Copies of this chain bind each other. A is one copy, B any other.
């Protein structure tokens, strides 16, 4: 732990420590006395009281919006859903045209209401309290609505996903032999998940008279116009305990792939899909995508993107080829006003 006491108070370190507390992200809106819609992103929201129903948030003394909120009789809090990161970024910027192009509803006192949020609270200003370099606004909730949706989360200066936690005390299945794989072993979970998913499309492979290996090679060939044996072997590295040679030969024999015209500087023969191969690949792939959307629906809209993101991150760790995906990516910015 890095400790700090009054003498050595570093603002950046203090911000970092505050950032350890995860929060949702909200947009607070109101209407200025001249009728202009106002809005800003804040994560300083919290609930206060159930009876009377009160919520609070705080706004910096230096905020351009402070004057309007100081005199506003009403304002609305929008708790953002996981797919509203762009909206969060838009209302975190300075500028006049935050509402441009948005589909706005009108709430209590004409307050602009945004759509697609996890929850909305329409409030009457109840109290304004001093809070150092911020003003704390307490609002009495006059109306609210809610939408079942995964939340947008902010933690450690970045946007985050929240996923439901397994209750404490869920025990892995016991094994007869000490040292066996268990439900807590990632390799086991990945293998089982993969094979169970794959089993759902094996019927389609059988209809197309394709072995697993042939299907892997066939679907690899949908990614590039032509691939050399070396390309294919690289893609198949670690897939089963054999290389792509036998699978390609069989695909060519069945008229699903053929040798492509060699490009200059490319070593060895390259392969491409025939029309029949393209059709067979896309038929199985589309069946696989249908299975996938059913599975993802049952898993839950909030969990699916997190699982995919974590698997992509895992591949970045164990699969050097995938790592390049993450290099160009930009960092997120803080939403606190």
Contacts and interface: CB of A to CB of B under 8 A. Distances in A.
B21 A22 contact: no
Interface stretch (A173-181, A248-256, A259-267): A173-181
A96 interface: no
A310 B159 CA distance: 19
A1 interface: yes
A312 interface: yes
Contact of A2 (B141, B146, B164, B183): B146
A33 interface: no
A48 interface: yes
Nearest to A142: B6
Question: Is the contact region of chain A dominated by helix, strand, or loop, or is it mixed?
Answer: mixed
B193 A331 contact: no
Nearest to A116: B1
* Copies per complex of this chain: 2
Interface string A307-330: 111111111011100100110111
Contact of A50 (B133, B158, B285, B319): B133
Interface in A128-185: 129-134, 136, 138, 141-147, 149, 151, 153, 155-156, 158-170, 173, 175-177, 179-181, 183-185
10 contacts: A20-B118, A47-B336, A129-B129, A165-B332, A179-B286, A183-B325, A187-B197, A190-B197, A299-B313, A303-B313
A257 interface: no
Given A211-B241, A299-B313, 6 more contacts: A14-B50, A21-B47, A129-B129, A185-B288, A196-B318, A199-B238
B318 A136 contact: no
Given A167-B329, A308-B186, A54 B132 contact: yes
The 9 closest A-B pairs by CB, nearest first: A199-B238, A49-B132, A20-B119, A180-B222, A5-B143, A194-B194, A20-B118, A21-B24, A189-B311
B212 A241 contact: yes
